[in-house]
Amino acid sequence: MSKTSWVLSVLMLAVLAVPPAGAGEADEASMEVLRDTLRSNKKALVAVNLALSDDEARAFWPIYDRYQADLTVVGDRLLQIVDEYTRTFGNTTDDEARKLVDAYLAVQRDRAALLQSYAEPFAEVLPGRTLMRFYQIENKIHIVMLYELAASIPVIAQ
């Protein structure tokens, strides 16, 4: 098993260890612990898998920290949308559902724009293959988190 696969497996286990939404009052605290754990482990995962030289690391990590702070804002918006939906689940009106869809699509657009906006700053300090590896790792982590989030979101009835 590659280092990336092993670390992603550990990350997945950490995600799956937190109860899904609707499991009780501990949900908010559990989600906060999960977010903190993922954020700290994510940086370690990126560090292990990029194996940057000292010069690359000095240039990369300040950009990465700004990127992660901006990404957190977008991710928190997604969690707010999910929270709103799960709180009103079963009573969501057509208008509320439409607003939630619009908000979700706006978050997706903003995330894509954020990834694009950081591509050049990262490319200035990373070789092309390392840049690609970074975005691949980011994508895998994002998919794991979306998978867990999706498992906790009930599908709206017709």
| Token pair of 123 as six digits | 């490319």
The pLDDT tens digits for 12-54 are: 444 444 444 444 444 666 666 766 677 678 899 999 999 999 9
pTM of structure: 0.76
Q: Is 158 inside any structural domain?
A: no
123 within a domain of the structure (yes/no): yes
Q: Quote the domain boundaries for residue 13.
A: 3-151
| Residue 34 within any structural domain of the chain | yes
78 falls within a domain: yes
Burial zone of 27 (CB within 10 Å; 0-12 exposed, 13-18 middle, 19+ buried): middle
Q: Give the per-residue pLDDT at 153.
A: 83
Q: Residue 104 has which token pair?
A: 């979700």
- Let me know if residue 102 belongs to a domain: yes
Report d(CA 47, CA 19) in Å as an integer.
28
Residue 157 lies in a domain: no
Tokens 């990262």 -> residue: 122
Yes or no: say if 26 and 19 are a contact pair by the CB < 8 Å rule.
Answer: yes
Domain tally, the chain: 1
In the predicted model, what is the mean pLDDT of residues 101-123? 97
CA separation for the pair 8, 94 (Å, rounded): 38
